[in-house]
Structure 1
Amino acid sequence: MKITKDNKELVNTLQDLLQKNYDAEAGYKQVMQKTENQPLKNWMQQKALQRNTFATELDFQIRKHNAEPKASGTLTGDLHRGWINVKSTLTSDTDEALLEECIRGEKASLTEYEEKLERFNEDSEIKTIIQTQLTTVRSALNTVKKLEDIIG
């Protein structure tokens, strides 16, 4: 199959989302290690696994379009995790600070998904996958905000 401009744009959009999910998974794994609150740790582990599933779904779609999926996240994600390390070290209320970073990350994911969703055809399988993932990210954002209210 010849890679067309449309196919290349589609693959690039999927690659962006794939990397965002690698970043989110790594971020959740990192903050999970920084809390002693077991229910919070369990929730973060669940979110990390969910983002791993998202990445697997996106990886499959990229391969279906005859492209090689990217293998890691972004420099921005690495920098954000570095900031989490610094912030949690300087903050006495660690769980609240970690949840604030989760909120920041989920808001960024939500924005990215909303922007990317518009690039897919209405009836495409990919649009359905992206819409489902977007709904899950939105739900995670709402949940983490509630958790912050309870803990904070």
Structure 2
Amino acid sequence: MENQKEVSILNDLLHITNDRIQGFAKVEGKIWEKYPHEKGEYARMVSLGKVMKNELIDLIKENGGEAEDSASIAGALHRTWIDVKNSFTIGNTEESALENVIFGEKAAVDTYQNAIDNGNLSGKSLEIVSEHLKHIKDSYDQFKNISDYKTKE
């Protein structure tokens, strides 16, 4: 089945999208006390992540596949590592949480870009995944700008 490769790629992206949603949930409240002006943008990114998840599930089904609607093992290990690291962090947990979000968003950008570059996505999937990549890049830039601003303080 030709769509098998496309379904596999879309499922990988679904795992990454679920990782993002779970990662955002982990940092909720850790950054926004110090940067409340960013909370609305954060809420928009979380909402958009859920829309992206549903779009990926629809694409997988349209391509005859079954959605693997879970987070990745690597993402789960990363979140566990963050929990352990934060349990030993003294001081600025906002900075640590922000660094972890930036790391995760960069990983998502790279994964989505690789999915596009490999040439195995069809027209509709390529269009939607490209739009998702734009949103993830915007999210990455948003969090990176907060981090850059923090550095200047």
- Shorter-chain TM-score range: 0.7 to 0.9
Q: Tell me how far 1:84 sits from its aligned partner.
A: 2.2
7, 11, 14: which one aligns with 2:7: 11
The 8 Å contact of residues 29 and 44 in structure 1, kept in 2 or not, is answered as: no
Higher relative contact order (CA 8 A, sep 6+): 2
Q: Which structure 1 residue ranges, 5 or more long, are not aligned?
A: none
The 8 Å contact of residues 99 and 144 in structure 1, kept in 2 or not, is answered as: yes
Number of residue pairs matched by the alignment: 148
Distance 1:71 1:24 in 2: 13
Q: Tell me how far 1:62 sits from its aligned partner.
A: 0.4
Distance 2:65 2:17 in 1: 18
Would you say 1:137 and 2:136 are equivalent positions?
A: yes
The 8 Å contact of residues 19 and 73 in structure 1, kept in 2 or not, is answered as: yes
The 8 Å contact of residues 23 and 77 in structure 1, kept in 2 or not, is answered as: yes
The 8 Å contact of residues 32 and 41 in structure 1, kept in 2 or not, is answered as: no
What letter corresponds to residue 65 of structure 1 in structure 2?
N
What letter corresponds to residue 79 of structure 1 in structure 2?
L
Residues 88 and 96 from structure 1, CA distance in 2 versus in 1: closer, same or farther, beyond 3 angstroms?
same
Look up the match of 1:73. Answer: 71
80, 83, 88: which one aligns with 1:82: 80
1:25-104 maps to which residues of 2 (within 5 A)?
25-35=21-31, 36-37=33-34, 38-89=36-87, 90-104=89-103
Distance 1:116 1:40 in 2: 30
RMSD: 1.9
3-state SS, counterpart of residue 34 of structure 1? coil
Q: Which structure 2 residue ranges, 5 or more long, are not aligned?
A: none
The 8 Å contact of residues 105 and 136 in structure 2, kept in 1 or not, is answered as: yes
Residues 27 and 115 from structure 1, CA distance in 2 versus in 1: closer, same or farther, beyond 3 angstroms?
same
Distance 2:48 2:105 in 1: 13
The 8 Å contact of residues 28 and 48 in structure 1, kept in 2 or not, is answered as: yes
